[in-house]
């Protein structure tokens, strides 16, 4: 009888680890699109604040997102479903790459598509509504993301290998269909285009 109980306990503990990823995917799948404003805090490993920012985020699943940082410097990271566009007006440059090359924007790829192969590169654990994603490949970043049972994302943190943390708090959220115009990028005049596709 003790052996049976031990085996059952092991199975339950294994399923808890396996289920965390499934629970996170199921929650994210509940929201097909949303708009949110965000505030950003970047801190060193020893908790020193080095940058604050704010911006807006539009998401439409699968694979569409528009991440617009308005402060401290304007930056646009946009996925039109096939390509990723990174535009920095201050340096008058646009970088474009295939979506599957976007290794520096993995969290957005995970948030916008539960079927993305990138999920295979992460172990996921859960503590209530907070999920921790640890890479199993050579990625330098790991993430925490708070997702309510309704599918609404409250906040997320990107943690670099040196311990630097970028924390994003979402607010003023609007869930539902997002106009496709938010995911179209027109190359401005007089900018350098670095096409890596």
Percent of the chain with pLDDT over 90: 72
Provide mean pLDDT across the span 100-124.
86
What pLDDT score was predicted for residue 197? 85
Cα–Cα dist 12/192, whole Å: 55
- Return the minimum-mean-pLDDT range out of 8-12, 22-26, 41-45: 8-12
Chain mean pLDDT for the chain = 88
pLDDT at 6 over 80: no
What pLDDT score was predicted for residue 86? 94
What pLDDT score was predicted for residue 57? 96
pLDDT at 87 over 80: yes
DSSP-assigned states of every residue in 31-48? -SEEEEEEEEEEE-TT--
pLDDT, tens digit, 9 for 90 and up, residues 149-167:
999 999 999 999 899 999 9
Domain range annotation of the chain: 2-78+102-176
Q: To which H or E segment does residue 11 belong?
A: helix 2-29
What pLDDT score was predicted for residue 1? 56
Q: Which residues pair with 97 in a beta bridge?
A: 84
* Higher-pLDDT residue of 137, 24: 24
Q: Which CATH class for the 2-78+102-176 domain? A: mainly beta
What pLDDT score was predicted for residue 13? 44
pTM of the model: 0.83
Provide mean pLDDT across the span 162-191.
94
Burial 6-17 (b: 16+ CB within 10 A, else e): eeeeeeeeeeee
Provide mean pLDDT across the span 46-56.
94
Which DSSP symbol is given to 122? E
pLDDT, tens digit, 9 for 90 and up, residues 28-40:
999 999 999 999 9
Provide mean pLDDT across the span 6-21.
53
């Amino acid at each position: 009888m003790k052996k049976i109980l031990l085996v059952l306990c092991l199975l339950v503990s294994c399923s808890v680890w396996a289920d965390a990823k499934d629970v996170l995917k199921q929650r994210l799948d509940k929201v097909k699109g949303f708009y949110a404003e965000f505030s950003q805090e970047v801190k060193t490993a020893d908790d020193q604040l080095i940058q604050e920012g704010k911006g807006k985020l539009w998401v439409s699943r699968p694979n569409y997102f528009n991440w617009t940082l308005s402060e401290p410097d304007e930056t646009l990271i946009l996925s039109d479903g096939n390509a990723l566009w990174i535009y920095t007006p201050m340096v008058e440059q646009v970088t474009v790459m295939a979506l599957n090359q976007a290794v520096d924007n993995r969290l957005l790829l995970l948030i916008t598509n539960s079927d993305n192969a990138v999920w295979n590169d992460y172990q996921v654990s859960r503590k209530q509504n907070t999920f921790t994603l640890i890479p199993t490949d050579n990625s330098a970043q790991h993430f925490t993301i708070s997702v309510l049972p309704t599918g609404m994302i409250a906040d997320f943190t990107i943690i670099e290998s040196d311990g630097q943390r970028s924390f994003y708090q979402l607010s003023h959220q609007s869930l539902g269909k997002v106009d496709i115009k938010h995911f179209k990028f027109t190359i401005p005049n007089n900018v350098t285009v670095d096409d890596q596709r």
